[in-house]
Amino acid sequence: MKLSLGIAGAGIFSRSTHRPVILRHPNLELTGLYSRTPESMAAFCSELPQTLQKTLLRYFEFQDFCNSPTFEAIDLVLPIPAMGEHVRLALGCGKHILSEKPVAGSSREAKALLAIWRNTRPNRAWLVSENWRLLESILAARELLDAGRIGKLVGAVASCTVARSSDSPYERCEWRRQIKPQWGWLTDIGVHVIAGLRSLFGDIRKVDSAMGTTENSPERIAEVVHADLTLTGDMPATVKLEYFVKTGGENRFAVEYRIQGTHGRLMVDRESLRISDAAGNPTVNDRFSPFSFDRVMDVFIQTIASRDFDNLQNPLHPESALADLLAIELIQELLRHEK
């Protein structure tokens, strides 16, 4: 039996990532759509199969959408500033919820939502769509690290570069422009990097330091962040996050983790995993799919079927997403008080 699903949000990411996966998934049936604007609604529906265009229920009022009896689960793909309030409203309607990362606009809001969720009866699934926890390359790297493939771990560097043209639809997106000042873009992008780091090594014990540089001119915007962390087992890690916007520039999103061990080095990104021995000779060079949203939907369906909603071992549990956000907030706090 297919899970009936409504999507809340018809923007760029909903159309490019969520829509195609939901439409091709054998165990999902899209029956409802909420959008804040007619333009996004029309753009989302324009590429639907003709039969679905005729049957899909469309809503511009979120409460009406939540109260619809035509679906039992909601996929929330809304702007970060609006996510928390919409999760709260959806929890009150008795729907299963999959919400996009981060878990909320702030850790304070996230903690309040977790309390509401745990007190909701009957209880329903709430997962956070942090797809980096399910990347094949990250999961494979974790297995190799746990098996001691590069010996005792010495340290790690996580680097992320985001480059966008000033006319990129993501750069022109109004809500993203609103959150960018004062390192707000880390809440949108940095949580991916932290989620990958925690998937590889476990908890972040401490954010030791953070410093940043900024450049803002009519032709170019650049913000660079360096943060030093202490991971499980007192292993040191450095996180480097770069955000560039340039008129006529390229659009690029690249993340890499470089992990040093006593017997070699492991490097992993979304598409590849490479290992070199202590002498620098390559021993592993594997390729992977960079897409993991199909697996996010699989976990969501399995969680609903199992009714094991508050299992902290679930990779998409909101507590894990909260831990990601807390680390980002600590980095932001240090940057804002940097002298």
Is there a contact between 24 and 52 (Cβ–Cβ < 8 Å)? no
Q: What are phi and psi of 122, to 5 degrees?
A: -70, 150
Which pLDDT does position 31 carry in this prediction? 97
Which pLDDT does position 180 carry in this prediction? 65
- Give pLDDT tens digits for 71-88: 999 999 999 999 999 999
Tokens of 16: 């490019």
Sort strands 126-129 and 96-100 into parallel, antiparallel or unpaired.
Answer: parallel
Is there a contact between 212 and 195 (Cβ–Cβ < 8 Å)? no
Nearest to residue 318, comparing CAs of 11, 10, 96, 28?
A: 96
Q: What is the pLDDT along the chain (339 residues), one digit of tens a residue?
A: 899 999 999 999 999 999 999 999 999 999 999 999 999 999 999 999 999 999 999 999 999 999 999 999 999 999 999 999 999 999 999 999 999 999 999 999 999 999 999 998 778 999 999 999 999 999 999 999 999 999 999 999 999 999 988 888 777 777 676 766 668 889 999 999 999 999 999 999 999 999 999 888 877 888 899 999 999 999 999 999 999 888 877 888 999 999 999 999 999 999 999 999 999 999 999 999 998 999 999 999 999 999 999 999 999 999 999 999 999 999 999 998 875
Token look-up 């010996």 returns 151
304: region left, alpha or beta (phi > 0 left; psi from -120 to 50 alpha): alpha
Q: With the CA atoms of 337, 320, 181 and 205 taken in that order, what torsion angle do they form, in degrees rounded to the nearest 10?
A: 20
Which pLDDT does position 219 carry in this prediction? 77
Is there a contact between 144 and 264 (Cβ–Cβ < 8 Å)? no
Amino acid type, 317:
H
- Give pLDDT tens digits for 21-52: 999 999 999 999 999 999 999 999 999 999 99
Would the CATH topology of 3-132+293-316 be identical to that of 133-289+326-336?
Answer: no
- What's the CA gap between 316 and 299, in Å, rounded? 8
Q: Which CATH superfamily is domain 3-132+293-316 in?
A: NAD(P)-binding Rossmann-like Domain (3.40.50.720)
Nearest to residue 300, comparing CAs of 46, 102, 21, 106?
A: 21
Domain ranges of the chain: 3-132+293-316, 133-289+326-336
Which pLDDT does position 339 carry in this prediction? 55
The third-level CATH classification (topology) of the domain covering 133-289+326-336 is Dihydrodipicolinate Reductase; domain 2 (3.30.360)
Q: What pTM did the predictor assign?
A: 0.94
Alpha helices, DSSP H, located in the chain? 12-13, 19-24, 38-45, 50-55, 62-66, 80-91, 107-119, 136-146, 169-172, 174-179, 185, 191-201, 293-306, 318-336
